[in-house]
Amino acid sequence: MVKERLNESIKHIKRDALAGTVAGVMAVPLTVGICLMSDYPVMTGLYTVIFAGVISFVTYLFKPGNYTGMPGVAAGLAPALALGVHTFGMENMPFVILLTALFQAIVWQYRLERYILRLVPHYLVEGLLAGVGLKIALKFVPFLYDIEHETDTWLNFEREVIIALSIVSFISFVLLYKYYKKKMPALPYFVIMASSVVLSFFMPLPMISIDSIPFELALPLPHFGGMNQQEILFLITKMIGFAMMLGTIDVIEQVMSNVAIEKMDPFKRKADTNNSLLAIWIANMGATFFGGMTNLDGLAKSTTNTVAGAVTKLSNLFTAMVLLIVVLFPVILTHLPEYALGIIMVYSGWKMIANIAHVRTEGRYALIMAGICGLLVFKLGIFEGLLLLLAVHAAIQFVFMRRTGKSTTEVFQLFKDSFLLNADTARIERQDMIAEPSIPVLDKWVKAVNNHDINLLMQIYSDDAMMIPAFSTRIRRNKYQIKDLFRDLFEKNDLKLVPYQVSTQKIDGLKVDSGQFKIKWKSGGFEESNDLRFSFVIKGGKIISHHSSIEPGDDVSISHPEAYDEDFVA
């Protein structure tokens, strides 16, 4: 298998070289910004990405996790790393990262990531990342109005020029990203960097300053100078807890990235999260010997790499080569104005905040908890904010289950069962969605149908619901007859549907959803599809009437009023 993957990489070397180079150019300002946010030397961050890129390719040959992801320092962990630097000192961070890598190695060895994901709901992770995004955005906002020459008057001509330039550049960056994110996601980064460098030759602009940190190897040992035995024990305990927090967030972010990378993969190859964790902990452990940072397959760099045409992890080596050039010639970074980096990082922070909108489809409770988690993380820190929200979430779930009639023993048994290997966590989430009254019935129906979950689907229909189906001449007069129809429908391979042109009306206490949806499935290796019209009559959160029909084709003629006989109309 190693030989086959190596041959595959050589076969696509041109595409991987181009994609990796593009991703490398984009990775430079992101790495610089994350290092500044983490209070780490920029050169250390660049060393980390280069090393992680090499490790990612090597582990891909043996145990591929994903195929087009690009590793690097993680924006989501930047405030946590900064906290670690302030708490333990830079001299102890290699030991903390070593503990993190050991924790991740244990998670990888025993496949514990599935338990972590069941303990921490993903909507709380979205909230956590939103809180981190807010920290990042606010950290770099001053870059958008910083000037070279301070005066007694804050708003002077020089600052007015910088603010105007930042506003115009930010709008341009957002528009370019909006229109080219699917075809050329690196274009906004190229434009903002190139234009800012050119402008720096014609006007005074504050530049990024970096410290030249030589690449030196050293054992990642802790430093306990002047501490007694009790203080050392307490510090190590804090380090272990902090490392477990770092490792947990790293694992969860990698899982979320893998889901997105898998969807973008040009050959629809499945991602193996456990194999991805192998690359992470090896790279993290290796980085401790030169004082490096934590890494994972970041979504921004991975998206750029994939869209740019990457086929294999060989592209990571070309990204590493771009960063190696910057390391060898660090003067390149001194020509990057602060405002350009500020735009990139403020927008990156905003994207992390905006992603919380994805939680809306999971109901009011999930959205509220995600929002509170983001605020707590912003105010208290990642570790404290997440732990506090997890405790509150557990208490709410306990009270809710007790009110539904379950005994304390049954509640703890359900919690225990959720960690069984055969537990369907996705179905548990869908069950919560079905029970959430604030989520539209149509959203629940689409979710249940696309997951072929017939039992949950039947919870949406009233017992005496009536259905006039599109693919049958027989009217179904109760939900049990409707269940038989869907049971036959779900036997089709890869059946999916996507609603569009949906409208909603409220009439005499009833809700009517109507519109169209495309339904598709595979038959004999070929995809078949139909456009259907539908209408739901909903009462008390249940469908009482469901009608669907095949949408008329273009060859169907429709009479116009003017074609009618005037006497007949009269």
Which CATH number belongs to the domain containing residue 458 in this structure? 3.10.450.50
Question: Could you tell me if 338 and 191 lie in one domain?
Answer: yes
Provide the 3-class DSSP secondary structure of residue 184: coil
Whether residue 347 is contained in a domain is answered as: yes
- Residue 296 β-bridge partners: 72
Q: What is the pLDDT of residue 420?
A: 58
> β-strand 295-297 against 542-550: which pairing, if any?
unpaired
Whether residue 259 is contained in a domain is answered as: yes
Whether residue 499 is contained in a domain is answered as: yes
Q: What is the pLDDT of residue 185?
A: 79
CA distance 62 to 2: 6
Question: Could you tell me if 330 and 468 lie in one domain?
Answer: no
Question: Could you tell me if 197 and 302 lie in one domain?
Answer: yes
Question: Could you tell me if 342 and 450 lie in one domain?
Answer: no
Q: Is 20 in contact with 314 (CB distance < 8 Å)?
A: yes
Q: What is the pLDDT of residue 264?
A: 83
Last residue of one domain, picked from the residues 299, 325, 353: 353
Contacts of 65 (CB under 8 A, 6+ apart): 59, 258, 271, 272, 273, 274, 275, 276, 277, 278, 279, 297
Question: Could you tell me if 119 and 215 lie in one domain?
Answer: yes
Q: Which residues of the chain have pLDDT under 70?
A: 117, 361, 417-436, 524-525, 553-570
CA distance 337 to 332: 11
Buried b (16+ CB within 10 A) or exposed e, 255-284: bbbbebbbebbeeeeebebbbbbbbbbbbb
What is the residue range of 504's domain?
440-550
CA distance 240 to 254: 21
- Is 520 exposed, middle or buried (CB count within 10 Å of its CB: 0-12, 13-18, 19+)? middle
Last residue of one domain, picked from the residues 315, 336, 353: 353
Question: Could you tell me if 170 and 290 lie in one domain?
Answer: yes
Q: What is the pLDDT of residue 418?
A: 63
Nearest-5° angle of CA 290, CA 292, CA 295?
Answer: 145
The structure tokens listed for 54 are 């090499």
Element (H, E) at 495: strand 493-507
Question: Could you tell me if 156 and 293 lie in one domain?
Answer: yes
Q: What is the pLDDT of residue 564?
A: 40
CA distance 295 to 316: 13
Whether residue 114 is contained in a domain is answered as: yes
Question: Could you tell me if 321 and 218 lie in one domain?
Answer: yes
Q: Is 457 in contact with 445 (CB distance < 8 Å)?
A: yes
Contacts of 539 (CB under 8 A, 6+ apart): 462, 509, 510, 511
CA distance 106 to 90: 25
Whether residue 493 is contained in a domain is answered as: yes
Question: Which letter does DSSP use for residue 154 in this model?
Answer: S
Whether residue 16 is contained in a domain is answered as: yes
Number of structural domains found in the chain: 2
CA distance 136 to 33: 9
Amino acid identity of 200? S
Amino acid identity of 417? D
Which residue do the tokens 């984009």 mark?
Answer: 26
Whether residue 173 is contained in a domain is answered as: yes
Last residue of one domain, picked from the residues 322, 353, 384: 353
Question: Which letter does DSSP use for residue 470 in this model?
Answer: S
Whether residue 123 is contained in a domain is answered as: yes
Q: What is the pLDDT of residue 561?
A: 46
CA distance 347 to 169: 12
Question: Could you tell me if 345 and 487 lie in one domain?
Answer: no
> β-strand 542-550 against 461-468: which pairing, if any?
parallel
Question: Could you tell me if 67 and 215 lie in one domain?
Answer: yes
Q: What is the pLDDT of residue 46?
A: 96
Question: Could you tell me if 213 and 327 lie in one domain?
Answer: yes
Question: Could you tell me if 335 and 464 lie in one domain?
Answer: no
